[in-house]
Amino acid sequence: MQWAGAQGAVSATRPSGVLPPLRLPAGFHASIYAAGLAKPRLMALAPNGDVALSDMKSGQVLILRPGPGPGGRATVFRFAGGLNLPHGLAFHGAYLYVATTDAVLRFPYRPGDTHAITPGTRVVALPGGGEHVTRTLTFGPDGRMYVSAGSSCNACRETDPRRAAIWSYAANGRDGRLYASGLRNAVGLAWRGDTLYASNNGRDYLGDTTPPEGFYRLKAGGFYGWPTCFTVGGRVVNDPAYRRADCSRALPAFATVHAHSAPMDLALYTGRMFPPAYRGQFVAALHGSSMNAVPVGDKLVLIDPASGKVRDFVTGFLHRDVYTNRPVGLLVMPDGALLVSDDWAGLVYRVWYAAH
């Protein structure tokens, strides 16, 4: 892989990466888009077609410049470093926004920039650390910034209202408002029209099958259950630790997957490359369980936003019940291909469709 520094392209030794034995539907293909990364997480599409990628372990934001042809590898540039667990990314206006564990930073950005021209400016202070350290952000059709922060614990009552919640802010970080609460760890945020959808990681230590992991259709002021309630079979039920809690105002998940599957990113497939049955569907990355006796998740699934039906899309990340590869971030490219980050193997894959 070709890496490039602030002064231009340089050659560096990095592991070339090995494509796992992925199982894809007929006509779909996968290749390695970038390799030799430390812990790649979420991605954002730049106005010129470059890709911004957060690398949590190295504390960097990288720029991936597409390579030639469908199987070409990207050139990687170090845009910014020394960041505190960078995760969520978004391009908006003349800036690249980066959500670290304790702040949202914004960097001046011009299309084609491969390195930050000035240090990032903090626009939002966030509660750092805790049991869930990642922060995700997205901009809505209203021009406001939506930021999720996970809980500090497994199943407690938080004292900081910014935890286990999504807040919205003006683009300059002012005018913060609570948008949605009761989401233990909403890693994936995606828009479908004017509606924000979220994936959520449910609580632990209730066995291998409880609670199911939920996907939520959000609305302003909505409460989605945690820590007192969760969704089972389309119905909101009480958490055993909070049997007397009032769950009447908790809104249910519109789709669920197996407990502890650890849903990460969520992307609405808006491209034209994939067959019609895939268009308008959500793709979700399931990171895989660290709790279950038999591993679950560790795959990409499709979710129908209307019916909530879930079906497998890409499997094969899990090899003989051993985690060798774990999907996290998703990005639909302008040509309709799908990028998938793998923070276990330090890879980014490109998934594309060609019937012949």
Residue 274 lies in a domain: yes
Q: How far apart are CA 192 and CA 217, in angstroms?
A: 10
pLDDT at 68: 80
Residue 332 lies in a domain: yes
- Return the structure tokens found at 287: 């990171």
- Return the structure tokens found at 35: 């390799």
Asked if 114 and 65 touch (Cβ cutoff 8 Å), the reply is: yes
Is the pLDDT assigned to residue 10 strictly greater than 50?
Answer: no
What does DSSP assign to residue 311? E
Residue 172 lies in a domain: yes
Structural domain containing residue 132: 23-353
- Return the structure tokens found at 126: 């966030």
Instruction: Indicate which CATH number applies to the domain containing 298.
Output: 2.120.10.30
Residues 274-285: pLDDT tens digits?
999 999 999 999
Asked if 96 and 111 touch (Cβ cutoff 8 Å), the reply is: no
Is the pLDDT assigned to residue 158 strictly greater than 50?
Answer: yes
In the chain, how many domains are there? Answer: 1
Is the pLDDT assigned to residue 218 strictly greater than 70?
Answer: yes
Residue 90 lies in a domain: yes
- pLDDT over 90 for what percent of the chain? 88
Q: Average pLDDT for residues 200-226, to the nearest whole number?
A: 97
pLDDT at 292: 81
Residue 5 lies in a domain: no
Q: How far apart are CA 262 and CA 355, in angstroms?
A: 32
Residue 211 lies in a domain: yes
Asked if 255 and 190 touch (Cβ cutoff 8 Å), the reply is: no
Residues 265-304: pLDDT tens digits?
999 999 999 999 999 999 999 999 877 888 899 999 999 9
E-assigned strand segments in 187-343: 189-192, 195-200, 213-217, 222-223, 229-232, 235-238, 255-257, 263-268, 282-286, 299-303, 310-314, 318-319, 322-323, 327-332, 338-342
Q: Average pLDDT for residues 55-68, to the nearest whole number?
A: 96
Distant-in-sequence, close-in-space partners of 72: CB < 8 Å, separation ≥ 6 = 66
- Per the prediction, the chain carries an average pLDDT of 94
Residue 17 lies in a domain: no
Unique residue bearing structure tokens 């005018």: 175
Residue 146 lies in a domain: yes
